[in-house]
Structure 1
Amino acid sequence: MLLNVSYNDKKITQKIDEAVGKPFSIKERLALGGIGSPKLFITETSIEIQNLLILDNNLNSCNIEMRPKGIIVRFRSLLETYALVIPYYKLSVYKGDLAIHSIYRDHYFIKVRSDTKAIQKYFKKLMDYKADNAPTSIEDL
């Protein structure tokens, strides 16, 4: 789901927590070696996200936050912050040629440059965590 998270709204926070879980504790963050991605530069997006990004002339970038049951991809447009909330069972990540990673959820997608070792290492950590913690059956949801 694509949400405007610029303002501290309890209903939106609750929706996000239900979809991907509450944020990791400090101890869990340290054990994972960090949960946030480096700055990711966007190369291509689905039409809904593109319509938000073209509103300003800034360089399009985003970051990813890992949560216990999914990820949150955040990006800015004008003075607003938007979040693409993706539970692990709906997350698909593809590594394309020319150092591009594609992140999909239903009909939304974001393609980012992965031209540094730090970004590639983060995507490996993300996919390993997903493999270990994603639900294996519908009852686990």
Structure 2
Amino acid sequence: MLLNVSYTDCEITRKIDAEVGKPFTLKERWNMNGIGSPKLHILDCSLEIRNLLILDNNMDTCNIEMRPKGIVIRFRSLLETYGLIIPYYKLKLYKGDFAAYSVHRDQYFIKVRSDTKAIQKFFKKLLDYKADNEPTSIGDL
């Protein structure tokens, strides 16, 4: 689900919380050594996201926030902030051959550069958390 998250809207917040859970508490964030990624440079993306990113001439970057039941990938275009909401059961993560990770959900995808140890460490943390907390049956959704 691709949403404009620039403005505080109760309905959008409710949709995001239903899809990926409420944000972690401060204590949980501390225990996990942070839940956000470093700045990620976008190499390639799906058509819907590309159409938003080409509206301005800024460098295409994003960041990932971990949530209890999924992730939120945020990126900016013009003066708007957009979020790609991905629950863990729909998250597909691929490691590319030239230092890149590709994050997929249904028809959406974002390929980001993974040229630093901090980025690789974050994706390892994300995969470990996903493996520990992914639903095992339909009743867990």
TM range (shorter): over 0.9
Matching residue of 2:11: 11
Q: Distance in 2 between matches of 1:25 and 1:9?
A: 21
Give secondary structure in 1 for the equivalent of 2:112: strand
Matching residue of 2:116: 116
Q: Distance in 2 between matches of 1:29 and 1:100?
A: 26
Shift of 1:76: 0.1
- Residue type of the alignment partner of 2:132: D
Identity of aligned residues (%): 74
Shift of 1:129: 0.1
Structure 1 runs of 4+ with >4 Å offset: none
CA RMSD between the two structures: 0.3
- Residue type of the alignment partner of 1:54: I
Unmatched 5+ residue regions in structure 2?
A: none
Q: Distance in 2 between matches of 1:75 and 1:30?
A: 24
Give secondary structure in 2 for the equivalent of 1:76: strand
| Aligned ranges 1:33-44 → 2 under 5 Å | 33-44=33-44
Unmatched 5+ residue regions in structure 1?
A: none
| Aligned ranges 1:54-69 → 2 under 5 Å | 54-69=54-69
Q: Distance in 2 between matches of 1:137 and 1:75?
A: 32
Q: Distance in 1 between matches of 2:104 and 2:31?
A: 27
Matching residue of 1:73: 73
Give secondary structure in 1 for the equivalent of 2:24: coil
TM-score (norm. length: structure 2): 1.00
